[in-house]
Amino acid sequence: MTRPPPRLIVNGRPFDLPGLPDDERLLDTLRWRLGMKGTKEGCRTGGCGACTVLVDGESTLSCLTLAKEVDGRSVTTIEAGPEDAVVARIRSAFAAAGALQCGYCTPGFVMSLAGMIRERGGVASRAELLEALGGNLCRCTGYASIVRAVDRLVPGGP
């Protein structure tokens, strides 16, 4: 009896992945098989955070995760629609704080914050959110605008 092809639920939509190689990274599956180019490849070693997505709500480096490892699980990317209130709220905070810069690293920052907010049941402290960004690098900013975006996400923030 043949096994069914691996299946991912990405941003609420199911995708069957027939012919998925055992060694294909989740990052490549998202970008090249599914056409979701929002998740970026920065370093290929898990050191920059640009490829961060959520797998079952937890921040995951898609460059270090094999697609077959997430068979049957839910993946959330920066392309999540407005129905994902957490991701939409973070995107809005980044826009309001001018934290977009060139935008290459932004998806990873947004998804890392989304993972922390989900982990904390919808509300995270400033310190927790900044800690969640510890693995994310931006090469074109001094991070001040990103910190301003984080401040917009905490209770009592601007």
Closest CA to 113 of 158, 62, 154, 156: 154
CATH number, domain of 69, equals 3.10.20.30
Q: 70: which residues sit within 8 A by CB, 6+ positions away?
A: 8, 26, 55, 60
Please state the domain count of the chain. Answer: 2
| Burial of residue 46 (number of CB atoms within 10 Å: 0-12, 13-18, 19+) | middle
Tokens of 24: 């294909």
pLDDT of residue 100: 86
Which residue range(s) make up the domain with 139? Answer: 85-153
pLDDT of residue 141: 76
Quote the CA–CA distance of 36 and 19 in Å, as a whole number: 19
pLDDT of residue 1: 66
158 within a domain of the structure (yes/no): no
Tokens of 53: 């997505």
Pairing relation of β-strands 74-76 and 58-61?
A: unpaired
Residues of the chain with pLDDT under 70: 1
Q: Does 46 share its domain with 95?
A: no
pLDDT of residue 38: 96
Q: Does 94 share its domain with 144?
A: yes
Quote the CA–CA distance of 65 and 151 in Å, as a whole number: 31
Q: Does 89 share its domain with 145?
A: yes
Instruction: Please tell me whether residue 55 adopts helix, strand or coil conformation.
Output: strand
Residue where a domain terminates, one of 49, 76, 103: 76
How far is C-alpha 90 from the chain's CA centre? 11
Residue where a domain terminates, one of 18, 50, 76: 76
Pairing relation of β-strands 58-61 and 52-55?
A: antiparallel
61 within a domain of the structure (yes/no): yes
36 within a domain of the structure (yes/no): yes
pTM: 0.95
